[in-house]
Amino acid sequence: MAWKRLCALGDVAENALRKFEVDGVPVVAALVEGEVMAYPPLCPHMAEPLEISGICDGGTLTCTKHLWQWDMKSGGELGLAEKPLLLYPVKREGDAVLIDIEQELVYDYD
Amino acid sequence: MSELRKEPVLYDSGQSMPYVDSRIYSDEGIFAEEIEKIWKKIWLVTVHESELPEPLDFRTLTIAREPVVIVRGTDNKIRAFRNVCPHRGNLIVRKPAGNLSVAEPSGNANYMTCMFHAWQYDCFGRCVDIPRMKQGYQDRLRKEDISLEALPCEVKHGGFVWLSLNKNVEPLAEFTGEAFDIMKVELDTEPLDIFHYHKAIIPSNYKLWHDTNSEFYHDYMHYFNRATSMMQKGYFERQYTAFPNGHCTVGSMEVKYEAYQGAKERPLSFPGMPRNGWKMVDLFPGATYNIRGSSLRVDTTTPIGPNLVMIEFRGLGLKRDTPEERAQRIRDHNTIWGPFGRNLHEDLLGITGQGVAMRPGTEPRQVLHGRHENNSIHDEIGMRHFYAEWQRRMGRSPSDPMRELSLAAE
Amino acid sequence: MGMNETAASRAEAVRNAIYRACLFLDDGKFKEWLTLCAADFSYRIKTYSPEIRKEMTWYEQDWSGLSKAIEMLPLHNTDHGRLTRHATVYEVSLDPSGSEASATTSFVCYRTMLDGINAHLDAGETQLFLIGKYHDRFRFGAEGPLFTERTVYLDTRRLDKGTHYPI
């Protein structure tokens, strides 16, 4: 476990992915029903940058390139998605958001 | 005239005045045949490798109307593909140049994306994504079975990308043979680098531009040439040499560079190039390499119609040029051969005049190819050699082009 | 220019010089054009090639190189097209020292054909030839601003037959 500071609570947006870098590891994060969720920055399909092409709406993330969708709380596939979103462990410490980036999460793109 | 003869008049077959019939420059049917019999069958020199220096760099062009994309792979090898989506025949890569790491709006980074339905291809031509593939095609079509058609492609002769639309084309080394030996050292000792590119679309026939590049009697058109090179000792000693497949070379007699060395500064040029030397390779069906002094110039033609041709002009130096050397090359090159240069405008005026006088619908004319001067600089052997090859490939005599040659006559 | 000249009148003098240059160039009065230019004048025509993804300098001359090229123009074959410019000076900047200035001018250059390709049909037709910007630098002397630098930066890269004339 390597908890590092991701950002301040006010730095994440409801319903929009923002990109951060923690010790050189890129992640994207958003506020989903009051909880901060963090994921690898690229789409598991073909590596599209999610902070550019992702749309969040009511807890559903859609990558607008090929319309893969996921439940943002669980990372589970919805609609056309063929792979789940991977989730980083995240916790709050007062106003700060911490993330465990000991293991950088990377999708297998074949 | 020749209509009364039984056999077509073969080109340059012993007449005292060889000629071509101007309909080879104006007839739509002959143009269409040239595209099929020559341009779709042959090796063509296209872009320079320095236009694609990084992996995933690409260039697009058309050859005999076929869209082509040239890509440097992640393995650093340059490949060429038909730039047409196998789905519904759309053009895939639209920009003239770029790097595939920049995603297209319909696609992802590192791939060629057809904007239409977002089918994507990697730098090896393999299809990597078909949106909703199973939903639409079930098991009848899989991306694993789809790829872009690869074309014969070789980087050679000074780092140029040579392509062919003909899957069965002979090896490039056989096609060019020894034609490049005259400038092998200049072209292949160290990497070259492009600094100049421009193009012109001119109402004339591609062969008329190549004819001008194949004879130097037209130096009379250029004040600059009359006042300088024509007056130089050795001008009339420059010799043409003909090579198989319609190519020829012309240039200075080999001068020992050592004779000019000493305290003097080495002039800016290319490795092995003699001081005050000049060397040219004229390639069938329509490209030239031309080295003089600090300038290497490569022209390529793209026929658009019998009376329309696009000419692309490239200027190159050495990759290791210092900024000062490069600036001098650019100045030298453009003073003569840039779009505002002394000679280029005149050369283009030369062929537009022929374009008017011999355009579709004008009276057939005889174009004389009769200068014989022991293959020296004002000899017209360059053109005679070209049209002998044209006759062979077309199965038509350029002197009597409206009738096909029987096999026996070839 | 006198020390009492205002910034506005200096800027006006720069604009006038640019337009006077256009009038001379339009009429093919290249020698007169060079009188507007300082002895250390440098002239270049540049553009960017998206094909080779490099800046290119298509022409570069100093004052004496231009003067010689202009003198030799009548010895060269030409299609006698008349080039006419339509220019608007977008911006004039005066250096804090007051002795130099720069200007950015948008121009359109048309060609009215004489020989054209086929004079019988083409003579009298005007075509768009080039568009681009003039990036000029000036030095103020006793008689007003002289050009010290002109960079003709072209948007148009298909010049087809081209020309020998300065743009």
Yes or no: say if B301 and B206 are a contact pair by the CB < 8 Å rule. Answer: yes
Nearest CA in chain A to B111: A46
Which candidate in B57, B72, B340 is best for mutational testing of the C interface (most C CBs within 10 A)? B340
- Using a CB-CB cut-off of 8 Å, the residues of chain A touching B111 are 46
- Per residue in B381-397, pLDDT (tens digit) is 999 999 999 999 999 99
- Per residue in B31-76, pLDDT (tens digit) is 999 999 999 999 999 999 999 999 999 999 999 999 999 999 999 9
Q: How many CA atoms lie within 13 A of C72 on its CB side?
A: 15
The partner residue sitting opposite C77, judged by closest CB among B59, B97, B346, is B346
Which amino acid is it at C17? A
Yes or no: say if B393 and B37 are a contact pair by the CB < 8 Å rule. Answer: yes
Low-confidence ranges of chain C (pLDDT < 50): none
Please name the residue that has the structure tokens 């240069």.
B341
pLDDT computed for residue B257 by the predictor: 44
Closest-CA distance, B103 to chain A, in angstroms, reads 9
Closest-CA distance, A9 to chain B, in angstroms, reads 31
- Using a CB-CB cut-off of 8 Å, the residues of chain B touching A48 are 103, 108-109
What is the distance between the alpha carbons of residues B239 and B235, in angstroms, rounded to a whole number? 9
Q: Establish if B311 touches chain C: CB-CB under 8 angstroms.
A: no
Query: CB pairs below 8 Å between B and C: how many?
Result: 95
Q: What is the DSSP letter of B91?
A: B
What is the distance between the alpha carbons of residues B98 and B148, in angstroms, rounded to a whole number? 19
Q: Establish if A83 touches chain B: CB-CB under 8 angstroms.
A: no
Q: Given 3.30.530.20, 2.102.10.10, 2.60.40.1120, 3.40.50.10800, which CATH number is that of B43-153?
A: 2.102.10.10
Which amino acid is it at B87? H
ipTM: 0.94
Q: What is the DSSP letter of B36?
A: I
Rg of chain C over Cα atoms, rounded to whole angstroms, equals 17
Query: pTM (2 decimals)?
Result: 0.94
In angstroms, the Cα distances linking B361 to B144, B173, B204, C64 are: 51, 40, 14, 48
Query: CB pairs below 8 Å between A and B: how many?
Result: 20
Burial (Cβ within 10 Å: 0-12, 13-18, ≥19) of residue A81: buried
- Per residue in A21-44, pLDDT (tens digit) is 999 999 999 999 989 999 999 999
Strand partners, C139: C100, C146
Yes or no: say if A85 and A50 are a contact pair by the CB < 8 Å rule. Answer: no
Q: Which among B289, B294, B299 has a CA at the least distance from the CA of B332?
A: B294
pLDDT computed for residue B251 by the predictor: 86
Which candidate in C160, C164, C167 is best for mutational testing of the B interface (most B CBs within 10 A)? C160
Q: How many CA atoms lie within 13 A of B263 on its CB side?
A: 0
Q: Cis before residue B285, ω within 30 degrees of 0?
A: yes
In angstroms, the Cα distances linking B142 to A44, B139, B147, B330 are: 20, 7, 11, 51
Nearest CA in chain B to A82: B132
Nearest CA in chain C to B199: C158
Task: Indicate the domain borders of chain B.
Answer: 43-153, 179-404
- Look up the CATH superfamily of A3-100: Rieske [2Fe-2S] iron-sulphur domain (2.102.10.10)
Nearest CA in chain B to C121: B356
Burial (Cβ within 10 Å: 0-12, 13-18, ≥19) of residue C158: exposed
pLDDT computed for residue B85 by the predictor: 98
Instruction: Report chain A's mean pLDDT, rounded to a whole number.
Output: 95
For residue B7, the SS3 value is coil
The partner residue sitting opposite B118, judged by closest CB among A47, A66, A80, is A66
Nearest CA in chain A to B108: A48
Cβ–Cβ gap C159/B200 under 8 Å: yes
CA B340 to chain centre: 22
Nearest CA in chain C to B353: C117
Yes or no: say if B112 and B127 are a contact pair by the CB < 8 Å rule. Answer: no
Closest-CA distance, C162 to chain B, in angstroms, reads 6
Strand partners, B182: none
Cβ–Cβ gap A80/B132 under 8 Å: yes
For chains B and C, tell me whether 3 or more CB atom pairs sit within 8 A of each other.
Answer: yes
Cβ–Cβ gap B103/A80 under 8 Å: no
Q: Establish if B267 touches chain C: CB-CB under 8 angstroms.
A: no
pLDDT computed for residue B232 by the predictor: 83
Q: Establish if A47 touches chain B: CB-CB under 8 angstroms.
A: yes
Closest-CA distance, B173 to chain C, in angstroms, reads 27
Which candidate in B100, B335, B345 is best for mutational testing of the C interface (most C CBs within 10 A)? B345
Q: Establish if A46 touches chain B: CB-CB under 8 angstroms.
A: yes
pLDDT computed for residue A77 by the predictor: 97
Yes or no: say if B282 and B213 are a contact pair by the CB < 8 Å rule. Answer: yes
Helix axes B206-214, B381-394, angle to 10 degrees: 140
First to last CA, chain A: 28
Task: Indicate the domain borders of chain A.
Answer: 3-100
Which domains are assigned to chain C?
7-154 (3.10.450.50)
Q: Establish if A48 touches chain B: CB-CB under 8 angstroms.
A: yes
Band the pLDDT of A2: cuts 50, 70, 90. confident
Cβ–Cβ gap C52/B223 under 8 Å: no
pLDDT computed for residue B258 by the predictor: 45
Assign a CATH topology to domain B179-404: Naphthalene 1,2-dioxygenase Alpha Subunit; Chain A, domain 1 (3.90.380)
- The number of beta carbons lying within 10 Å of the beta carbon of residue A110 is 4
pLDDT computed for residue B228 by the predictor: 85
- Using a CB-CB cut-off of 8 Å, the residues of chain B touching A46 are 108, 111, 120, 128-129
Contact partners, residue B126, CB within 8 Å, separation at least 6: B146, B147
Q: Which among B20, B8, B98 has a CA at the least distance from the CA of B54?
A: B98
Cβ–Cβ gap A66/B131 under 8 Å: yes
- Per residue in C27-71, pLDDT (tens digit) is 999 999 999 999 999 999 999 999 999 999 999 999 999 999 999
What is the distance between the alpha carbons of residues B56 and B58, in angstroms, rounded to a whole number? 6
Low-confidence ranges of chain B (pLDDT < 50): 1-2, 255-263, 408-410
